């Protein structure tokens, strides 16, 4: 499939039309969606209208945006007017938002065409899409394996050439982990860089919307289009969208890159080996390489599994059957709420609501949630110290290549551990990229993770581009 950059260029020049590219996308979806379960909803009518609108503008010689005519897949936890939005949960089945997420508005402004909504772990809680109420998504590279999660559908859409780019959300690795498992690029932006307005919250202090794409350049294009201050999100950074595309080819000469021990600790040997080769490739491109240890990273998983469920327990309280979504009738309002939530939420969501409720309870708050907040502060300090010695950190995105269905579903801890390398960035509110680098068992892709301080996206994408070239994708 053509890259987003190429489609936009060709639509702008008249070589192709948004409609033709959209139909190609629809064709790819109909070829493989039955097998892979990538899209929960394809918005044929809306997308065709949008594509026709772009084509009409081009025909009239009016300006079109940087993503003109580019088909894009949207994770189904982002609100789009009139388009079913489920979070892969029965509790929201059939709900159609009356408003757009800010990122959806910005995509429209950039000329992108939203093709449909992709599968995810219910409310973005999971690492395999096996927690979707509407069945798991299969990894396009090996349908016996998971695509990762929670943005598994969005990653699979790109990996299966259904769309060149997709939007995901990353709370503890939900963009980077599936990107790694599907062999594509995924960016977790700095907290506040991209508006969360219209992203159905899992853990508000950790959630970020970000791009999934085949190439680093496409990731930069997409991130540039959606980033920048939004007055509707109080936690949005005050600056306008950063210049990213212009810096993709900046290289890494003169940058200090640190290979972090705790970001490869426990990874499969083939993953460790890929990270080491990637580090060497950055050195070859002119970076200075050092080794670092950040022991606080070992505490990240525990802190995350208190903070994220605590926020989730509150964020998901509103799904009570009173105003929208599922309602299971019962003898009074309390019983109705209980019955609705019992029937509407899946096991993992319930587990996290209970964990979070417990962590915030009187008498337990200090020992659990309060302690986790302290760990988070330590994490932020530890990264700040690391960034005095290095401009970028490097490690693995996930401990292994894509795993098989059912492999980790019986043991939640094993599943949680697949995010052990990605979670620290979310706790620190900083930026990270996963970029494919080499393959492992069964020829499946390995993701290498680059981490940077807040607002370092341009630097991270330039380094990712160096790895992309070194891995044979010039």
Partner 1 sequence: MSLPHGWEMVVGLEVHTELQTATKMFCGCANAFGAVPNTSVCPVCLGLPGALPVLNERAIDLAMAIGMALHSTISPSTFHRKNYFYPDMPKDFQISQYDLPINAGGYLDLPDSTRVTIERAHLEEDTGKSTHLGGSGRIHGADRSLVDYNRSGVPLVEIVSGPDIRSSTQARLYASELRAILVATGASDGRMEEGSMRIDANVSVRHADEPFGTRCEIKNLNSLRSLQRAIDYEALRQVELLEGGGRVRQETRHWDENLGATSTMRTKEEAEDYRYFREPDLVDLAPDIAWQDRVRAGLPPMPAERRATLSARLVGANDAQLDALEVVIDLGLDPFVHHAIDAGVDPGLALARGANELAAGLEDIARLNRDAFSATLLMEQRGELSSTQAKTVLGELLAHGGEPGTVAAAKGFEQLSADTLGTTVAELLAQFPSEWERYRDGDEKLAQFFIGQVMRITNGQANGKAVVAELRARR
CA 42/CA 116 separation, integer angstroms:
4
| Residues catalogued as catalytic | 75, 150, 174
In the complex, which residues of this chain contact partner 1 (CB under 8 A)?
Answer: 77-79, 85, 87, 92, 95, 97-99, 101, 196-201, 203-205, 231-235, 310-311, 313-314, 317-320, 322-324, 332-334, 337, 357, 360-362, 365, 369
Secondary structure class of 237 (helix, strand, coil): coil
In 50-109, where do the E strands start and end?
Answer: 71-75
DSSP3 helix / strand / coil % (the chain, rounded to 5): 45, 15, 40
Strand pairing of 392-396 and 256-260? Answer: parallel
The distance of closest approach from Cβ of residue 261 to partner 1 in the complex, given in angstroms and rounded to an integer, is 31
| Least distance CB 24 / partner 1 (angstroms) | 31
Q: Output 166 or 200, the one with its CB closest to partner 1.
A: 200
The number of residues in the chain equals 474
Residue whose CB is less far from partner 1, 369 or 437: 369
98/472 with CB nearer partner 1: 98
Burial (CB < 10 A; 0-12, 13-18, 19+), residue 255, is buried
CB nearer to partner 1: give 331 or 388. 331
Rounded Cα–Cα distance for residues 237 and 227 (Å): 10
- Asked whether 186 and 159 are in contact (CB, 8 A), the reply is no
What is the nearest approach in angstroms of partner 1 to the Cβ of residue 231?
7
CB of 326 to partner 1, least distance (A): 13
| Shortest Å, Cβ 115 to partner 1 | 20
First vs last C-alpha separation in the chain? 16
Nearer to partner 1 among residue 198 and residue 228 (C-beta): 198
Cβ-contact 392, 103 below 8 angstroms: no
Measured distance CA(179)–CA(432) in Å, rounded: 12
360-373 burial string, b = 16+ CB within 10 Å, else e? beeeeeeebbebbb
Place of tokens 């997409």: 222
Taking the complex as a whole, the smallest distance from the CB of residue 119 to partner 1 amounts, in Å, to 17
> Residue 29 CB: number of other CB atoms within 10 A?
24
The residue written with tokens 């936890």 in the block is 77
CB of 348 to partner 1, least distance (A): 18
Q: Residue 167: beta bridge partners? A: 74, 211
Cα separation of 399 and 267, whole Å?
4
Nearer residue to partner 1 within complex by CB, 291 or 332: 332
Left, alpha or beta for 473 (phi > 0: left; psi -120 to 50: alpha)?
beta
* CA–CA distance, 454 with 294 (Å, rounded to integer): 18
**Residue placing its CB nearer to partner 1 in the complex, 365 or 405:** 365
């Amino acid at each position: 499939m053509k890259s987003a950059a190429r489609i936009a260029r060709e639509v702008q020049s008249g070589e192709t039309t948004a409609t033709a590219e959209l139909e190609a996308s629809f064709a790819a979806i109909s070829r493989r969606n039955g097998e892979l379960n990538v899209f929960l909803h394809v918005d044929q009518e809306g997308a065709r209208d949008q594509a026709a609108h772009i084509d009409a503008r081009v025909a009239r010689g009016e300006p079109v945006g940087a993503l003109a005519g580019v088909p894009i897949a949207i994770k189904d936890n982002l609100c789009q007017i009139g388009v079913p939005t489920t979070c892969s949960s029965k509790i929201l089945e059939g709900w159609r938002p009356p408003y757009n997420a800010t990122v959806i508005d910005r995509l429209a402004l950039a000329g992108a065409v939203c093709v449909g909504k992709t599968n995810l772990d219910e409310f973005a809680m999971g690492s395999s899409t096996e927690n979707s109420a509407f069945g798991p998504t299969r990894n396009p590279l090996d349908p016996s394996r998971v695509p990762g999660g929670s943005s598994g559908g969005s990653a699979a859409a790109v990996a299966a050439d259904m769309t060149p780019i997709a939007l995901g959300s990353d709370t503890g690795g939900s963009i980077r982990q599936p990107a790694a498992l599907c062999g594509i690029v995924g960016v977790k932006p700095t907290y506040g860089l991209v508006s969360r307005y219209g992203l159905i919250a899992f853990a508000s202090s950790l959630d970020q919307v970000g791009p999934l794409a085949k190439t680093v350049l496409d990731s930069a294009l997409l991130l540039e289009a959606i980033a920048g201050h939004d007055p509707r999100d109080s936690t949005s950074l005050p600056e306008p969208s950063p210049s990213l595309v212009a810096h993709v080819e900046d290289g890494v000469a003169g940058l200090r890159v640190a290979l972090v021990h705790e970001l490869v600790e426990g990874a499969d040997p083939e993953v460790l080996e890929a990270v080491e080769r990637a580090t060497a490739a950055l050195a070859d491109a002119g970076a200075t390489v050092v080794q670092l240890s950040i022991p606080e990273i070992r505490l990240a998983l525990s802190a995350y599994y208190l903070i994220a469920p605590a926020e989730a327990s509150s964020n998901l309280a509103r799904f009570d059957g009173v105003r929208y979504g599922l309602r299971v009738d019962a003898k009074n309002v309390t019983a109705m709420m209980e019955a609705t939530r019992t029937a509407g939420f899946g096991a993992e969501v319930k587990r996290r609501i209970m964990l979070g409720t417990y962590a915030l309870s009187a008498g337990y708050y200090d020992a659990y949630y309060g302690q986790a907040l302290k760990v988070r502060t330590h994490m932020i300090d530890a990264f700040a110290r690391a960034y005095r010695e290095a401009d970028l950190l490097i490690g693995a995105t996930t401990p292994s290549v894509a795993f098989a269905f059912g492999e980790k579903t019986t043991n939640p801890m094993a599943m949680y551990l697949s995010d052990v390398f990605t979670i620290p960035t979310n706790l620190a509110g900083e930026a990270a990229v996963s970029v494919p680098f080499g393959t492992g068992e069964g020829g499946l892709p390995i993701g290498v993770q680059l981490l940077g301080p807040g607002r370092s996206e341009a630097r991270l994408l330039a380094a990712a581009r160096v790895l992309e070239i070194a891995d044979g994708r010039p």
